[in-house]
Structure 1
């Protein structure tokens, strides 16, 4: 069962976080910006590590800030550091998902001495200046060509890439390894609910790729990049390029998984992350 606590960010905004499980802590940064509830317990990772899951400002139980510019990705790094200080952790393992990997990456660049290990799930490479091309997305999408929903979803994906459409609901099946009832329910629950936070996240100044790359070149923290074989948001080929930015990085491509690999195959996801992060043996309660 999760327990909720709160702390004040450097600008006075009251932020919430929840703690799930036991063991060594892992500070988790959701994507979106969306309510962190969609992360759940990361497929059972909480049986091996204590997950400290931040509600990004203006989402979940965290307050809406007075200054909307603090929704910007680079500004969210300050909230991660404020949480680390609040928890009195000299160093902590950090896990980010999707858009949250940009915040995690910039946190590692700015505070390398505070990061034990860095896990990037469904990684977004915007913070280091890598682009996910339409061709890369289509190549991954073609792996699903035998799915009954593929024709309509692929047409919508192509229209979005061509700038002639924006039917994101139609492309939703590409984000899960199985487009079943569980995936549909998760999709409905994981939509961002704060449009201003979404709009400001990547505003001008949010990313400084040249500086971030330069800082990461001397970051000693081991890094795991984990993406799904079917992830059109974070194609394996792009994740492989992203891994080259770090001095000590490994790439895991989870078979038959999409953008939420802990849902598609929890056992594989937990095995990969605990192999990297460490954790309590599976035989322990």
Structure 2
């Protein structure tokens, strides 16, 4: 679940050869064809889940493992609750407990764990992003894409990685991300979903992922849900399947 253009670029052959994968754009990445004005209701979570349901039926995909990465993990979680007969296993990758209070912990985590080189690269990327914003007072057309690139020092263990080409041509609808990631996923209560979902659930988190809430912010929640497996991978950040494909493969239930 996510971008059908971005994710194939970060899924290595190691995984592509092992699984038959279907990657579906959600509305935040899809080009709008309607002439009617968009609103927050256009990107309501229930509507997004119904889109995925449509695609799974239209493409005749049988009940299967569903993977959600980052904020898309909440979509996967909600989908498994709403359509339990269509999900056999759930894999949440680089997803924090929410984009609300737990996210505040990442600043102190970054300060404690990040190297001097990582902090300097992050400072330079933030300065570049601010310059891009100031140079386009009418608004950046590719705001979300450029924002993600500005987070490279927070998202990749390997500091030499530049994600610019990974985001080339990716269409994003700003209102969708402002609403889903900035409101819905801020207030989401993962406990309400975990208590209802019966299929096996696995969390795969990067130790050097500074883009979402740190891995340990899940611990108080998982004490109440001991059946949920958590795997923290060293030497990787926000994209474990991209940076550590072999190890990621072994974590797939």
C-alpha change, 1:268 and 1:259, in structure 2 (3 Å) is: same
Q: Is the 8 A contact 1:141 1:154 kept in 2?
A: no
Deviation of residue 200 (structure 1)? 2.9
Residue 110 of structure 1 contacts residue 215 of structure 1 at CA under 8 Å; is this kept in 2? no
Which of 135, 157, 162 matches 2:105?
A: 135
In the alignment, structure 1 residue 119 sits paired with structure 2 residue 97: no
Structure 1: give runs of 5+ residues left out of the alignment. Answer: 1-28, 158-166, 277-285
Aligned mate of 1:83, from 33, 41, 55? 55
Shift of 1:185: 3.5
What is the TM-score with the length of structure 1 in the denominator? 0.66
Matched, 1:103 2:82: no
What displacement does 1:123 show? 0.8
Give me the whole-angstrom Cα distance separating, in 2, the residues matched to 1:98 and 1:58: 14
User: 1:177 and 1:206 mapped to 2: Cα distance?
Assistant: 25
Q: Name the CA distance, whole Å, in 1 between partners of 2:236 and 2:72.
A: 19
**Selected match of 2:205 from 222, 227, 231:** 227
Report the alpha carbon displacement of residue 132 of structure 1 after superposing the two structures with TM. 2.1
Higher strand content, 1 or 2: 1
Query: Cα RMSD between the aligned structures?
Result: 3.3
Q: Aligned pair 1:56/2:26, yes or no?
A: yes
Quick one: structure 1 residues 189 and 121, their matched pair in 2 at CA, closer, same or farther if it must change by over 3 Å? farther
Between 1 and 2, higher relative CO (CA 8 Å, sep ≥ 6) is seen in 2
1:38 pairs with 2:18: no
How far off is 1:145 after superposition? Answer: 1.6
Range moving further from structure 2, 241-250 or 229-238: 241-250
Q: CA deviation at 1:252?
A: 0.8
